[in-house]
Amino acid sequence: MSSHETTPATRPIRRSLSLRDAAREFLRHPSPWMIATSLVVVLGTRLALGDWQLTDALVPLLVLAAFPLVEWVIHVTVLHWRPRHLGPLTLDSELARKHRAHHTDPRDVPLIFIPPKSLTLTIVALVAIALLAFPRPALGLTFLLTVTVLGILYEWTHYLIHTDYKPKHAAYRAVWRNHRHHHYKNEHYWFTVTTTNTADRLLGTAPDPASVPTSPTARHLHAS
C-alpha cells in the first residue's frame, strides 16, 4: 500500500461538521454535478415546451407517493443483491459491489455516492421512460423533472447522514437514526434513506431497534 492510501484504521477521525463544510465536500464529487446538470437541462426543456395540463400536477404527486417504496425495492433487490453464478459468469452489478464496499466502510466518502457509470445508465433509462411511457412529451418531462429533484435530494440526504453533521431537527434526526440503524445495527431492516417509517413500516422492516440483535454481517454483507 502506498504512503498516501488510507484504510478504515488509518483514516483520520472526522470531527463536528458544519452544513457549509458538508456542502463544500458534497460538491467535490461527480454524481451531484451529473444530477444537477440533468436537472437544469430538463427544467429548461420543460419550461420551453409548455403544454401544461392537470396531469402535470398529478404525476409529481404520484411519484412522491411511490418514491419511498421504489427506494426500498432498489435498496433490497439491487444494492443488496447477492452475487449469483451462471456457469462461468458472475451476475453482480457495479451498484451492488460498491454498496457492499460502502457497508464495509460507511465513512469512506466516495463510496457514499452513486457511481458515475451506473448513474449515467440510470439517467439514460429514465430519459427513455420519459419519452416512451407517457402520452405527451411534456408529461414525460414533468416525470423526469420530479425524479431528478428526488435524485439530488436522495444523494444529499444519504451523503449528509454519513458525515459528522449533527441532526438539528426532529424530522432529519429520525431519517438519520433510521439509516444509521441499517448500517450499524442490522442490515436486514430500515431500507429507506430519505424517509423513515414509510415503506419500512409498510413492508415490515421497521422494528423497534431495542428488539433487534446487532448483526455480525452489517459491515460485510452476505458473509457467513
Rounded Cα–Cα distance for residues 81 and 101 (Å): 13
Q: Domain for residue 106, yes or no? A: yes
In a 3-state reduction of DSSP, which class is residue 86? strand
| Inter-residue long-range contacts of 37-46, CB under 8 Å, 24+ positions, other chains counted | 38/123, 38/148, 38/151, 39/145, 39/148, 39/149, 39/152, 42/141, 42/144, 42/145, 42/148, 43/145, 45/141, 46/138, 46/141, 46/142, 46/145
Confidence grade of residue 11 (pLDDT, cut at 50, 70, 90): low
Rounded Cα–Cα distance for residues 213 and 3 (Å): 38
C-alpha cell at 210: 431495542
Q: Domain for residue 12, yes or no? A: no
What is the reported pLDDT for 4? Answer: 41
The reply to whether the predicted model has a pTM over 0.75 is yes
Confidence grade of residue 223 (pLDDT, cut at 50, 70, 90): confident
| Inter-residue long-range contacts of 120-128, CB under 8 Å, 24+ positions, other chains counted | 120/34, 123/34, 123/38
Q: Domain for residue 137, yes or no? A: yes
Residue 156: which domain range?
29-167
What is the reported pLDDT for 9? Answer: 47
Beta bridge partners of 85: 90
Helix extents (H) in 93-136: 94-104, 116-132
Q: Domain for residue 54, yes or no? A: yes
- 94-123: average pLDDT: 98
Q: Domain for residue 57, yes or no? A: yes
Q: Domain for residue 98, yes or no? A: yes
Beta bridge partners of 89: 86
Q: Domain for residue 132, yes or no? A: yes
Q: How many domains does the chain have?
A: 1
- 150-171: average pLDDT: 96
Q: Which H/E stretch holds residue 89?
A: strand 89-91
Confidence grade of residue 2 (pLDDT, cut at 50, 70, 90): very low
Tens digits of residue pLDDT in 31-68 = 999 999 999 999 999 999 999 999 999 999 999 999 99
Q: Domain for residue 193, yes or no? A: no
Rounded Cα–Cα distance for residues 10 and 2 (Å): 13
